[in-house]
Amino acid sequence: MLYNRRGLYAWKMWVKHALLKGRPWKSLRWVLSNHVESPGTKGFTDRELERMLAPLGLTDIRMERFITNNDRVVRRGFPYRLGGWAAEALIALTGNRLGWFRGISARKLCGALGLACALGAMAAQPEGGRFESLGIPVRVGGLMGCIVGPNGRGGEALYFNFNQAGAPLFLVQVDPDTGEARQFTAPQGPGAWAFVAGPDEKIYFGTWDGGLILRFDPRQPEKGIEVVGKPSPDETYLWQFALGKDGKLYACTYPRAKLVSFDPATGKMEDLGRMHPTEMYARSLAVGPNGKVYVGIGTTRGDLVEYDPATRAHRSILPAGLHGAPTWSTVAVTRRSDGNVYAAFGTNLLRVADESVTPVRDAPDLPPLKLRDGRLVTRFDRGSFALRDARGGRVVERTFKYSGAGDMIFVVGIGPGGAVYGSTALPMEIFRFDPRAGRSEHLGGMPGGEVYSLLEHDRKLYLCYYGGAVMNLYDPARPFWKFGTGADCNPISFGGVGDGHLRPRAMIRGPGGLIYIGSEPPYGQLGGALAAWDPRQNRTLENHRNVVTNQSIVSLAYEPASGLIFGGSGNWGGGGTRPAEKEARFFAFDPKQKRKVFEAAIVPGASSYPATAAAGGKVFTTAGDRLIVFDPQTMRAVRTNSLPGPQAQISLGRHRSGLLVGLTSRAVYAFDPTKAEVVHTAAAPVHIGCGFALTDEAVYFGSGPTLWRYWLPPARQEGSGGRLFGILVRGQ
């Protein structure tokens, strides 16, 4: 490991340990030796390295420097931000010249001594076995909605509701006339679907991951966003708000399909009970002209429920003949611009009027987003909106500024050129990290929730996302991001891969140049699917539903000696369903016969097999905190090993050394297939949220909004003379 004595990190340490401690005469050499890592740590200049290498008779010597988070200022707080801005300005001006880590490549024939190989081992990477934060790659926030509300000073404002992972949700209050914005961060809650201006001229949120009601008072902005409370102790999502004629706020919930209320006048919250005895989702609601509350239920057997605030009774009013259609699983209710409530259910559209439910061919538009002076909000997005004048029709475009703390990383993987690619969730934004440059780049967004799986193919990258398992192809050789279906787009979107696919959790290379995708099923359904995608035609050639009856496919691996695709299931179905099977199954699928040839519960009681890999004629799968060695010849599990924690999804792969590298929720581990044992573990300093990108030097994972890297340990395994991860070779 080589350091740059005149790098930004060295100067940061000098400021901390010399300048700020009244010892400005101390040299960089002294600071590194006494205050960085172990005593005697050294850094080198280019000239010093040239003198060191001169006796070796090398040619084509190339020296590189690498910017990492060591060189940046990542701590929060005003003084640190000043330092961070200064550091970023220097990096922008000098590139990698001030990077802390150094690398050397050169040429010399190895001969018997293997000199070039030894030199390659000097390539700059931090000390093996070390975790490194690579920063937050995406900070745009997920826009959940925009409403018009009072500004607290007699006028109106636009309110933009953002979710994020780096901090709780935030609200942006925007002046529609100027675009001037003020930002307020909630004390709790990562995001809120429910969002409304209340009858008391306050702004209300209903959160997920907690089921809280939050409130913002524009007349007292100094109070920020406050927690009102939790209206139901067992509900985690508040999906929508509706204003009742009795002055109360009503909200629909998950996972027990309840209706709750809050009275702004008295501060009283009430749990009004389940609106359906078995369904999980009360997904939408609307208040009719009669003051009754109508609730849309799903996702297994849709229903339309009427709640009467006067009697506190509820009942189903969905016409009997509409029950039971397999693709009609959720009722969606809305109040339209004519003041009436309409319910959509499959191909049916119904108008709800007091005691009657009438089929109709169409419905009026939704009420427009409108200011008191008649101006219409015709478009809104992150950081921008458009207003149309009601009289002249003139459209004014405006922008506003806000600051996000970071969006949750949902998946990472290796892409073309050895770069690490990843996707955030809600919003789905794609980023790329270049290990050689030590820099992240936010590429752009796609419409949907999040990418579930990605795969490099022919120097391009396939990305398959939720919902609908939509397949897309990104070409990094085309230096732009323009999502769409046309030939001029990058990425190009090809649509869903087939029936039974909603969350495409596993994607692998299979025989015949095909790509295989395994998925969880749609909402309200059991039984996922396995699809074979042809990258030459960019279409699905075959699709197999219910490969494992009533279960989802969550991991896949191709074992070339047997010619079989092995996979693991999850015993669950789509959202809103309950498991029909007690335990998950491990299976083998024959691509030639196009059928399943093996299935068993090799780990009794396991609910899923979240990661599977093949190496050396064996298949390795996981369940909970166990790794199982499976023999394809005998179709039997031959050994079970303990792991340092529950296995992370799709986070097990073969390193070029021959070892398997995997992630649990709290550690990195290495498994030796020849010894059938775990030979290395490293406890992570943070929770491991997702994987999985494996390079020769490191493994990458996401933790909340932050990308992390674990540098694989040195070439020698502790306590033995054997190699662990081998030696990187640069030069020849």
- Helix, strand, coil % in the chain, rounded to nearest 5: 10, 45, 45
pLDDT at 280 over 80: yes
- Whole-angstrom distance, CA of residue 125 vs CA of residue 1: 6
Q: What is the pLDDT of residues 286-316, one digit of tens each?
A: 999 999 999 999 999 899 999 999 999 999 9
**Confidence grade of residue 327 (pLDDT, cut at 50, 70, 90):** low
Task: Give the pLDDT band (50/70/90) at residue 731.
Answer: very low
Report, as an integer, the average pLDDT of 342-350: 92
Give the chain's mean pLDDT: 90
* pLDDT at residue 133 tops 50: yes
Is a pLDDT exceeding 60 seen at residue 592? yes
Give percent above pLDDT 90 in the chain.
Answer: 76
Query: Would you say residue 117 has pLDDT above 50?
Result: no
Are the C-beta atoms of residues 287 and 279 closer than 8 Å to each other? Answer: no
CATH fold of 231-367, please?
Neuraminidase (2.120.10)
- pLDDT at residue 77 above 80? no
Confidence class for position 30, pLDDT limits 50, 70, 90: confident
Question: Taking 90 as the threshold, does the pLDDT of residue 14 lie above it?
Answer: no
Residue 107: the pLDDT is 56
Separation in Å, CA 291 to CA 92, 246, 343, 446: 60, 8, 16, 40
Give how far the C-alpha of residue 574 lies from the chain's centroid of Cα atoms, to the nearest Å: 19
Confidence of residue 718 (pLDDT cuts 50, 70, 90): very low
- The larger pLDDT score, comparing residue 251 to residue 320, is at 251
CA distance 113 to 354: 90
Identify which has the larger pLDDT, 89 or 161: 161
Kindly report, residue by residue over 440-474, the tens digit of the pLDDT: 999 999 999 999 999 999 999 999 999 999 999 99
Q: pLDDT class for 40, splitting at 50, 70, 90?
A: low
Mean pLDDT of 109-133: 51
Q: For the residues 140-149, what does the mean pLDDT come to? A: 98
Whether 651 shows a pLDDT value over 50: the answer reads: yes
Please say if the pLDDT value at position 721 is more than 60.
no
Cα gap 295→272, rounded to integer Å: 13
Numbered ranges of CATH 2.120.10.60 in the chain: 231-367
Q: pLDDT at position 378, please?
A: 97
478-485 long-range contacts (CB < 8 A, ≥24 apart) are 481/430, 481/443, 481/444, 482/444, 483/444, 483/445, 483/446, 483/447
Burial of 47 (0-12, 13-18, 19+ CB in 10 A): exposed
**What is the average per-residue pLDDT within 529-558?**
98
Q: Which amino acid is at 257?
A: A
For residue 87, name the pLDDT band (cuts at 50, 70, 90): confident
Cα separation, 351 vs 358, whole angstroms:
5
How far is residue 671's CA from residue 653's CA, in Å, rounded to a whole number?
10
Q: How many other C-beta atoms can be found within 10 angstroms of the C-beta atom of residue 691?
A: 24
Query: Does position 118 have pLDDT exceeding 60, yes or no?
Result: no
> Would the pLDDT of 354 be above 90?
no
Q: Which residue has the higher pLDDT, 60 or 612?
A: 612
Q: What is the pLDDT confidence band of residue 242, given thresholds at 50, 70 and 90? A: very high
Question: How far apart (Å, rounded) are the C-alpha atoms in residues 496 and 540?
Answer: 9
In whole angstroms, what is the distance from residue 503 CA to residue 523 CA? Answer: 10
DSSP-assigned beta bridge partners for residue 141:
none
Question: Prior bond to 427 cis, omega within 30?
Answer: yes
Contact partners, residue 371, CB within 8 Å, separation at least 6: 148, 156, 176, 377, 387
Q: What is the mean pLDDT of residues 420-432?
A: 97
- Can you tell me the distance from the alpha carbon of 258 to that of 271, in angstroms, rounded to the nearest whole number? 8
Query: Is this prediction's pTM over 0.85?
Result: no
Quote the CA–CA distance of 145 and 175 in Å, as a whole number.
Answer: 16
Residue 80's pLDDT band (cuts 50, 70, 90): low
Higher pLDDT, 31 or 113: 31
User: What pLDDT does residue 652 have?
Assistant: 98
In single-letter form, the type of residue at position 660 comes to L
* Alpha-carbon 710 to chain mean position: 19
Lowest mean pLDDT among 18-22, 174-178, 435-439: 18-22
The SS3 of residue 222 is helix
Rounded to an integer, what distance in angstroms lies between the CA atom of residue 676 and that of residue 261? 57
Q: Where in the chain is the domain with CATH 2.120.10.80?
A: 449-688
pLDDT band (50, 70, 90) for residue 78: low
Does the pLDDT at position 124 exceed 50?
no
pLDDT score recorded for residue 355: 75
Decide if pLDDT at 244 tops 50. yes
Average pLDDT over residues 20-34: 82
Least confident residue range of 195-209, 421-435, 579-593, 703-717: 703-717
Average pLDDT over residues 7-24: 85
Q: Which of 127-141, 279-293, 325-339 has the lowest mean pLDDT?
A: 325-339
Superfamily of domain 449-688: Kelch-type beta propeller (2.120.10.80)
